[in-house]
Structure 1
Amino acid sequence: MRALSLVPLLATVAIPTPVFAEAGDVLLRIRAVVVSPTENSGSILPTFPGEEVEVSDSFAPEVDITYMATDHIGFELIAATTKHDFTGTSGTTGGIGELGSTWVLPPTLTVQYHIAPESSVRPYIGAGINYTAFYSEDASTGLENAVGPTSVSLSDSWGWALQAGVDVDISENIFLNFDVKYIDIDTTATIRNATIGTQQVDIDLDPFVFGIGIGFRL
């Protein structure tokens, strides 16, 4: 009888204690992310009609913090920065190859709905807004070898964001996180040079951001 009385206790010990997500919680996540643009480029105008650019993927660490306003509703702010190269795809600019590079800082605020806040596996979906700042733009050596000293700038962007993810408990206050976002980012790249004048190209970057990491209930 005494052995049987221990069964419920042992069963309780064997089951991981859920982290939960409840009103007032602050969740910190540290992720490794892949930022993969699904770019749609216009022509490089006015000199290179029909010639477009493509933008490289990038890998980076990301930090986000979520405040749970209710058991189901959270507000997440992410912070990360990535470097991307842009390359000509055809004609004259395609022969040059890489045209330049830029750093991208896209702070994004989403409102999340946590579907099962009392479960040890907690999926969520979210939507929000994004502001993207471009900085440290730089012309490539190949471009400057072809046409001389060149300046490059990209316009900042406001857009929307969609999100889906899941938290999976490891212990009472630590969990794994898997996350994907789609972010609306539109910019105009301007290339200024004494030989070819001023060229502009509109680029819809619209990246998917795939992340995996670890989270902490603070």
Structure 2
Amino acid sequence: MRAVHADEAGSWFIRGGLAYADFHASGTVAINGQQVPGANATVRHNTGFAFETGYFLTPDWSVALTLGAPPTAKIYGAGTLRSAGELAEATYGPAVLALQYHPPLHGRFRPYVGLGVNYTLITQTRDAAIKHVHVDNGTGVALQAGVEYRLTPRFALFVDAKKIWVSVDARGLAATPAGDMPATSHLTLNPVIWNMGVSYHF
């Protein structure tokens, strides 16, 4: 049987490396059903590892699934809630399924773009200023752009960026002068996830 060469229809690739999530987060906060004036929430940037596997439908088009080793995001109060400090932590597993286009270019540099869907799975939460925290999973749209630098026909270095539009809902109990009150928040995360590492085509 003839070996399948990289970038032919029916071939596969895997990518893996360091990932950096740059959040562009904001959120509304309500306590006991009343929105807190000027209250906001933000999410600290974090780093982790991401892995992508893809399959070439044609020499120019592929479908790819990206998974991240679950990092932990820290949620902080902002605006009138800045003095509250850290509100909670959430460990999440990001996943992106995308259709990618690879322009038919020759040479060592191979760019690609993609459009897909994101699913953010919350695997664990930890209380801070907010007690009994629960964060819902989220879905959204993802845009992707990247480039590979081929070291050999099969091995390459890559840099990749994914812009994700995703929001989640969170709830718990907030301490107030009248005692613990139900607190809810709608968090818009909208991260840009930068990924760099090594890819292998087979």
Work out whether residues 151 and 193 of structure 1, in 8 Å CA contact, stay in contact via their aligned partners in 2: no
The equivalent residue for 2:196 is 212
Work out whether residues 47 and 199 of structure 1, in 8 Å CA contact, stay in contact via their aligned partners in 2: no
Aligned-pair Cα RMSD in Å: 1.8
The 1:203–1:25 alpha-carbon spacing in structure 2 relative to 1, beyond 3 Å, is same
CA distance in 2, matches of 1:158, 1:87: 22
What SS does the aligned partner of 2:82 have?
A: helix
Q: Deviations over 1:85-121 (max 9, x none)?
A: 0111133x32220111001112110000001354421
Larger radius of gyration: 1
| Structure 1 residues 30-45: aligned runs within 5 Å | 30-45=16-31
Q: Deviations over 1:32-62 (max 9, x none)?
A: 1101111121233426332111101010011
Runs of 4+ in 1 over 3 A off after TM superposition: none
Q: Among 21, 33, 42, which residue is 1:54 paired with?
A: 42
CA distance in 1, matches of 2:83, 2:26: 20
- The size of the alignment, in residue pairs, is 192
Q: Among 192, 195, 199, which residue is 2:183 paired with?
A: 199
Q: Deviations over 1:116-161 (max 9, x none)?
A: 3544211111001111111211112xx27xxxxx200111112111
Q: State the TM-score, normalized to the length of structure 2.
A: 0.88
The equivalent residue for 1:67 is 55
What SS does the aligned partner of 1:101 have?
A: strand
Where is the helix percentage greater, Structure 1 or Structure 2? 1
The 1:189–1:134 alpha-carbon spacing in structure 2 relative to 1, beyond 3 Å, is same
Identity %: 23
Work out whether residues 29 and 35 of structure 2, in 8 Å CA contact, stay in contact via their aligned partners in 1: no
Structure 1 segments unaligned to the other structure (5+ residues): 1-18, 145-149
CA distance in 2, matches of 1:157, 1:128: 14
Work out whether residues 6 and 201 of structure 2, in 8 Å CA contact, stay in contact via their aligned partners in 1: no
1:190 to 2:171 alignment? yes
Deviation at 1:21, TM superposition (A): 1.7
CA distance in 2, matches of 1:88, 1:74: 41
Q: State the TM-score, normalized to the length of structure 1.
A: 0.82
Structure 2 segments unaligned to the other structure (5+ residues): none
